[in-house]
Structure 1
Amino acid sequence: MTPPLMALVALFSLIWSSAFVAGKIALVTLDPYTLLVIRFGLAAALMAPFCPWRRIDRRALRVGAMLGLLNNALYLGLTFSALQRLRPEIVVVVVSCAPFLTTLLAVALGQERLAPRRIVGIACGIGGVAVMTGLVGAARPDPLGLALAGAGTLAFAVGTVLFRDKAVGLPVFQLNFWQTLVGGVALLPAAWLLGAPVGSVTVPTILAVLHLALVVTIGGMALWLALIRAHGAGTAASFHLLNPVFGVALAHLAFATPLRPEDFAGAALIALGLGLAVMTRAPARSG
């Protein structure tokens, strides 16, 4: 990777991982569905004045709506539900399995081919993920929480591959706006039926919601869509292998979570896997 790309990948991973730490803070007073509806509603309202309403790209609207259902409603609805049962760093680590699922889907759809070094890199990354989550240790995480996080990660992988296939040349800002708006609207019934009464709103909750709406939804998602367009679904998904490193570090800073030897061992495996996976560009299938 070139230095500018390395900087973008690090920034993306930091932003993406911070979402689950901020989410854990906000979930003290908000249920996951209400939190996401507020997050997406605020972000969409802030983006709306900058949308070219006289030149709406209808294809961008359709693709954005599809991504809103997969990336925002399903992926974040499920993973934020998992946050109620799991530590944020574990949810971050499970989401980091996205490269494996995305690569399999991209290969199955004929978008990319697997290179041997890339397979080894993803295997190293998944091994690091297993070490950091405690799946290979004595303390087992909540099974339902892991299932929710895993299902959300699968929805995210599907959205990643479909974006690469359908959204070439579409305006990233409009895509982000429509997927944010549709994701919030899609989660309204869940917030209405499954949501809990809002507790006392604290300053940390307000700051967490603002961070989720401004930094993650507007900035982080736009950066993510741009990385997919530039580097392909499988390669862009491999950037998530850095997320456990940032997730553990941010959880330590925010919640005083102890740093374990397994965290450092897993981080080393993930860094090795990221290098192998990204240094080997997956060729697209011809014809």
Structure 2
Amino acid sequence: MEIKFFKPKNEVLQKYIEGYYFLTNSKSDLPLEYYTFPNNYSIISIIENSEVIYSESKVIVKEKKGTPLNSDLICHYKKPIKLSYEGNINEITFYFKPLGLNAFLEKSLCHYTNDFFSNFIPFDDYKEIFSSILKENDLDKKTELIENYWLSKLKDFQHPFLNQMIIDLKDTQRDYSISDLAKKHNTTRQNLTKHFESNLCKSPSDFKKIQRFREALKSQINSQTKNNLTSLSYDMLFYDQSHLIKDFKSLTGLTPKKFFKNISSQENGEVNWLFV
């Protein structure tokens, strides 16, 4: 298995896309299995010549020649997902920042989702373009084609309070409650929740929980000296250590100690999986 991760070169796209990676697996490789964990990105995975089998919290990808392009949107999972790859696999996966994907779509994000994994074909030329991109072997050309395509679809996205509210929820110096945020942005909790579910496909409380988990993970990965759980709880604005443990077990199925011991970071911490 090989992963190559890229940040957008274009400054405009950097506002909306965190990054994207190319994953390749060959028949000579052992079957690949790993767990991925909730985050607040909207994730698009595109693959061709592969059969994709879905079950509860598990996805199996098997090489199958002649299978049409498969594109999935994942933006509202709250439990670990186990992925399994067999055979020759060629995949592109995008990480869109919170609200980022909305800037390219005709309708709000919730119109493109239904199940755990949602079939995502948003434009008439989408399949044709990404089929050709998947066949391109030159990485520089491949990234150029990708960025030009997303730029051609850019519509931008304006919202009266969601952009600033997400900045507030990412603030590790202040622990805003959902009621605090509603008051700060002159709206109600009910209206706030409605807009989160429409444009982010998750509730404000789920967003906050996942963001705090991701910040804790990033802190441990980037720290030269790993924090103990008490310090980590304090730094990431958990109520206490038991709160941190409860959230980690909810989102990963593991205690923080076991999770950090087994997690594998790819591409300088941009991709974090637990291999089976």
TM-score interval for Structure 1 and Structure 2 normalised by the shorter chain: under 0.3
Give TM-score scaled by structure 2 length: 0.27
Structure holding more strand per residue: 2
Select the structure with the greater relative contact order (CA < 8 A; seq sep ≥ 6): 1
Structure holding more helix per residue: 1
Structure 1 or 2, whichever has the larger Rg, is 2
